[in-house]
Chain A
């Protein structure tokens, strides 16, 4: 059919050189005109828009709380302790050197359990997402398990494993693994087909496709799953600690709450609830949120921080 034409002759070549120079300038101009500058917010902006509002909210809650006591709306310290009582409880625990112990017992358990859940949930999610038979077989069960409150696993776990740390980890795993796996599955499902086609034309098929294309493309969904997985780990652990207490288990935040109830010390109960809340928020704020934001920002999915 068609033969190859000679592409260069002297006349065209000269014109081409000139043309090329013009084109380079034109292109540089276009690039400069169309490139958007993204600048990050200043500290002042971050402070007034991000840091100040939650501080105001917390202060407001404290004011209302103190007002309830001061104006004797609730006049029963066994029902509602004053903020000062709870602070006294914090000071006592700190002076006795037990405060950090309570926190560390629970946090170390929670994080270790979460890491185990991560190690199990990730390959499981990948299998469910990529292998059709596995998805049909256990996909629905996995999403169903998410709606099962993990506190339901505490009684069987105690019967099977006894009152020890492995029982705690079992409850954490049963709560967090489905979240992590499901997050990865939905992340993989949301990978634009265009990326997969582009990957295949570049030669990324099979395991190489999974590693170079599917996993990084699914990362935002996976991170959302991890975040939820941590929330589930923490909640499962607290349920387990409140229900199953034993001297060998040491005193974590869940036991602290249960001890408060047993000794009718409402300020101790409040302390425990506050610490559980603060740890949950802190882990999210210090680990998961920055991770998620940096991933989204690098992909241009976070327009303004």
Chain B
């Protein structure tokens, strides 16, 4: 009935065969017409190092599910287990405007208990990882949308979590920047041993990024279907293999949406 952050000591991580285990999770909210079921009996595992995208139309509860995994909310039934507190990235960058880019990252390090004399160096390293070497002293408003999301990614990585949750993080960006950040995210994912659970309503984005695409039905959200994506990385969103699979998934998604117009 709750989200558990397994407090595994370092070294025992290798024995876990999942980065997140979502078992029979349901969530309902009190609405105007009584209890409204948003998520219905979701079961889903994310393997260590795996990249999974959650795909669905509006009202499928994908953001709700992500909040449950992040521990920001508790499931009504079922259980969620993750190896430690997951990192979370939002659609908005959610950087703190009273801190510089570097200090935003250092705050994450500080809250994780990293000693003061190591924070600056670690923050510079993380900025270099997202290729924003000179941005340490920049204020949030001085950065472009794409740079902000990269700093937000660096801050999420600063949590040193095994699992990164992403809630439509590129939805507000222009197409060119989004493309570049797809490449960037793929690169960083391949360089680290991070597991990613990525929520989106963009089918091509889901196929471009993921090893596995999970389609959720809407109202209530259920796992409708899963696809393994075996196209080798680095992919491009224009690749014909990506387009082909996207067509297939879009058909399925449209079928799910049509069902709601029938009554």
Contacts and interface: CB of A to CB of B under 8 A. Distances in A.
B98 A219 contact: yes
A62 interface: no
A204 B112 CA distance: 9
A221 B156 CA distance: 28
Nearest to A12: B232
B225 interface: no
Contact of A4 (B47, B183, B232): B47
Interface in A67-102: none
Contacts of B184: 23, 27
Contacts, number: 121
| Interface hub of B45, B71, B139 (most chain A Cβ within 10 A) | B139
B52 to A, nearest CB: 8
Q: Chain A's interface: helix, strand, loop or mixed, by majority?
A: helix
A137 interface: no
Contact of A300 (B71, B94, B140, B176): B140
B233 interface: yes
A131 interface: no
Interface in B34-67: 45, 47-50, 52
Contact of B177 (A5, A30, A219, A295): A30
A31 B190 CA distance: 23
B94 A5 contact: no
Interface string A23-38: 1101110110011101
A201 B228 CA distance: 30
A204 B86 CA distance: 14
Interface in B12-27: 18
Interface stretch (B75-83, B142-150, B201-209): B142-150
A217 interface: yes
A30 B146 contact: yes
Interface in B172-209: 176-177, 180, 183-184, 187, 190
Nearest to A36: B142
Contacts of B146: 27, 30-31, 34
Q: How large is the interface on A (under 10, 10 to 19, 20 to 34, 35 or more residues)?
A: 35 or more
B190 A16 contact: yes
Given A34-B146, A194-B90, A213-B96, A299 B47 contact: no
Interface of B: 18, 45, 47-50, 52, 70-72, 85-88, 90, 92, 94, 96-99, 107-108, 111-112, 131-132, 139-147, 155, 159, 176-177, 180, 183-184, 187, 190, 211-212, 228, 232-234
26 contacts: A1-B45, A1-B47, A2-B47, A2-B50, A2-B212, A4-B48, A7-B49, A16-B187, A16-B234, A23-B187, A27-B184, A30-B146, A34-B177, A35-B142, A197-B72, A197-B90, A197-B94, A198-B90, A201-B71, A201-B87, A203-B85, A212-B107, A216-B98, A299-B139, A300-B142, A301-B97
Interface of A: 1-5, 7-8, 12, 15-16, 19-20, 23-24, 26-28, 30-31, 34-36, 38, 194-195, 197-198, 200-204, 208, 212-213, 216-217, 219, 295, 298-301
Q: Which 9 A-B pairs have the closest CB atoms?
A: A300-B141, A34-B144, A198-B94, A299-B97, A203-B111, A201-B88, A216-B98, A4-B49, A1-B45
